[in-house]
Amino acid sequence: MDRREALKTMVTLPLLTAAGAGAAAGAPAAEDARFVVEARFYEKMPAKRIRCKLCPRECVIDDHERGYCGVRENRGGTYYSLVYARVCSAHVDPIEKKPLFHFAPGSLAFSIATAGCNVNCKMCQNWEISQARPEQLDSTCIPPQKLAALARESHSVSIAYTYSEPVVFCEYVLDAADAGRAAGVRSVVVSGGYIQDEPLKEMCRRVDAIKIDLKAFSQKFYREIVNGDLPSVLKTLAAIRKYGVWSEIVYLAIPTLNDSDDEFKGLVRWVKTELGPDVPLHFTRFHPDYLLKNLPPTPVPTLERAKAIADAEGLHYVYIGNVPGHPAENTYCPKCRRVLVERAGFTIAALHLDRGKCHFCQQPIPGMWEGMLHL
């Protein structure tokens, strides 16, 4: 199977071994010790309590209890991840689906997830896995080396940790990224960015790109819709830049909740000031799901309004997402305005980049272009 064929058929991998946990209903399997490893980021407290230091929530957890994420458990005063190599979803996706537009365009990403998430977004499209506990899902064991080998076999340039929230399966991400690097496979993380600095630093040492879902530019939205907080996520974005990892931002525009001109202006000013004009910013279309079924899909003009505000602020790479065929899916040269990457949904129709420069005017285009599709 070549890369193009894989892209065309969007291969959904069957769960890859029979060694995983049982289904949520009917057949709970005995716990598989391979899934359970001591957590890396926590501190012990009196009376067998622990304080999780993975994300800013800092759950204080009693013996036998789990953190907010539902995948980390205190057992007798020692904190464990229950989702090491416990993969509940595995697909070969185009990297454009993440979306990462300045990272090896047209390449494949071997994409995996475990159960769990450290926030609870009311618009989550993957709530069946992100809001579940690991024992409630069918899973399979894919140890780091096996994951790297599967990525290579599927001609994937990268492993993508995605769908749910990689922060909560951090130990697995760190080891798998090491294994991938040793096998010549890169790693990309798709995250809400709700993470403390120490684990983020460890992650940034190992992965090649991070896409952050910036859910809104207001604390009210983060408090009421996400159950998280905005300053922590902004801190993460700034830290990723400081650590030198390629990053892109997605902003899901939701009618009436985070789509005002003022909010868009605040967002793009912050991005330009704190991260610079070259960070790709994707305004994507909301579809009703989970606990936000009462709102309509985002009108395309809303996304165009957001893009116009970002363009006017001077951001160089502003995209519109979840609107297949929209011209703002393409990458344009900020200098000569010619199309550099022409996209149709997740497919690359044309590429005019020469070693990271505009084919027409030689303007350097920021990103990681090695491994991109050659048409």
Partner 1 sequence: MPTERKSGTTRRGLLRACLAGALARPAPAQAKSTVVIARDPDNAIDSARLLRLLDRAVQGACGGDSPLEAWKRIVKPGEVVGLKVNCLAGRGSASTSPVLVEAVCERLQQAGIRPGDLVVWDRLDSDLESAGFRPSTHSGRIRYIGNDQAGYESDLATFGEAGSLLSTTLTRTCDAVIGLPVLKDHGIAGVTMALKNFFGAVHNPNKYHSNAGDPYVADVYMLPPIRRKVRLHICDALAPQYEGGPSFMPHWSWPFHGLIASRDPVALDYTGWQIIERKRADKGVPSLRAARREPVYIARAADARHRLGTNDPGLIDRMEI
In the complex, the residues that contact partner 1 under the rule CB under 8 A are 24-26, 28, 47-49, 60, 62-70, 89, 93, 97-99, 111, 117, 120-126, 128-133, 135-136, 162-165, 190-192, 213, 227, 250, 252, 284, 287, 289-291, 293, 321-322
**Which residue lies nearer to partner 1 by CB, 121 or 240?**
121
Q: How far is the CB of 322 from partner 1 (least distance, A)?
A: 8
Whether residue 37 contacts residue 173, with contact meaning beta carbons closer than 8 Å, is answered with no
Nearest to 176 by CA among 201, 151, 156, 196: 151
Rounded Cα distance, 56 and 197, in Å: 9
**Which residue lies nearer to partner 1 by CB, 93 or 259?**
93
SS3 121: coil
Q: How far is the CB of 31 from partner 1 (least distance, A)?
A: 8
SS3 332: strand
Whether residue 368 contacts residue 103, with contact meaning beta carbons closer than 8 Å, is answered with yes
Chain-centre distance for alpha carbon 125: 13
Nearest to 189 by CA among 218, 215, 212: 212
**Which residue lies nearer to partner 1 by CB, 132 or 365?**
132
Q: How far is the CB of 172 from partner 1 (least distance, A)?
A: 16
Q: How far is the CB of 190 from partner 1 (least distance, A)?
A: 6
Q: How far is the CB of 212 from partner 1 (least distance, A)?
A: 10
Amino acid found at 278: D
Rounded Cα distance, 26 and 48, in Å: 33
**Which residue lies nearer to partner 1 by CB, 34 or 64?**
64
**Which residue lies nearer to partner 1 by CB, 6 or 339?**
6
Q: How far is the CB of 132 from partner 1 (least distance, A)?
A: 6
**Which residue lies nearer to partner 1 by CB, 162 or 218?**
162
Sign of CA dihedral 350, 353, 358, 362: negative
H or E stretch at 184: none
Strands 42-44 and 50-52 turn out to be antiparallel
